[in-house]
Structure 1
Amino acid sequence: MSTEVRNNTALERYELYVDGAIAGYAEYQDTASERAFVHTEIYPRHEGQGYGRVLVEAALRSAHEDGFGALPMCPMVHHFIETRPEFLVLVPHWARERLGLPQ
């Protein structure tokens, strides 16, 4: 199965496509310097297959490439960052304690 993640700026969300069909999305809201991830959803047909990880990783990398830090407000993005310390650097220091992440 082929996967692709696209940033749909009109809807403020990253969309995950599996074999050309949308399989989920990660909604965000931009501030001046951070991209706040507010909701992530993988459609039931695609749950439990690792697509959430694919989507979140691509979205975080894209946000970083666009010059944004990350605010993991949704549980899926929060868990992803919490379990992958290499992505913690994307979360500003001021937000880490508030979000229960390591300093």
Structure 2
Amino acid sequence: MDPEPNAPSTTVDVRHEPEQSRYTIWRNGEAVGLARYSSSARAITFVHTEVDPQFRGAGLASTLVRCALDDVREHSDLPVVSQCPYLSSWLTTHADYQDLLTRGT
């Protein structure tokens, strides 16, 4: 279905902020969520993912995780470790990302 002609458009952007060890998701210029990680010489460990409660249910957490993992895949050879319940659950339903868990082992 086409959007209503006068409906405002929504812009979503995911940004990597390595100096803060996180990825953030922005909706119409406002930061509305983040995925925190730690990295070592052995792995990239995602520890927490959250989206502002007023924006939950719109698929933003899934977009955030997908973009973060795509970035890890493109810029690192390290395996991903999930200590984040949301990311762990997301990975069980996205088989095309599970190879990230076993890279380098």
Give TM-score scaled by structure 1 length.
0.86
The aligned counterpart of 1:22 is 31
When residues 94 and 9 of structure 1 are mapped into structure 2, their CA distance, relative to the original with a 3 A threshold, is closer
- 1:71 counterpart (57, 81, 100): 81
Q: Give unpaired runs (5+ residues) of structure 2.
A: 1-9
Q: Is 1:52 matched up with 2:33?
A: no
Q: Is 1:35 matched up with 2:44?
A: yes
What percent of counterpart residues are identical? 27
Deviation of 1:31 (Å)? 1.6
Larger Rg: 2
- 1:6 counterpart (6, 9, 15): 15
Deviation of 1:32 (Å)? 1.1
Give the distance between the partners of 2:17 and 2:38, measured in 1 at CA. 12
Deviation of 1:69 (Å)? 2.1
When residues 7 and 93 of structure 1 are mapped into structure 2, their CA distance, relative to the original with a 3 A threshold, is closer
Q: Which amino acid aligns with 2:99?
A: V
> Could you say what the CA RMSD is over the residues aligned between the two structures, in angstroms?
1.7
Give TM-score scaled by structure 2 length.
0.84
Give the distance between the partners of 1:94 and 1:10, measured in 2 at CA. 25
Matched length: 95
Q: Which amino acid aligns with 1:45?
A: Q
SS of 1:32's equivalent in the other structure is coil
The answer to whether the Cα contact below 8 Å between 2:79 and 2:103 also exists between their aligned partners in 1 is no
Structure 1 runs of 4+ off > 6 angstroms? none
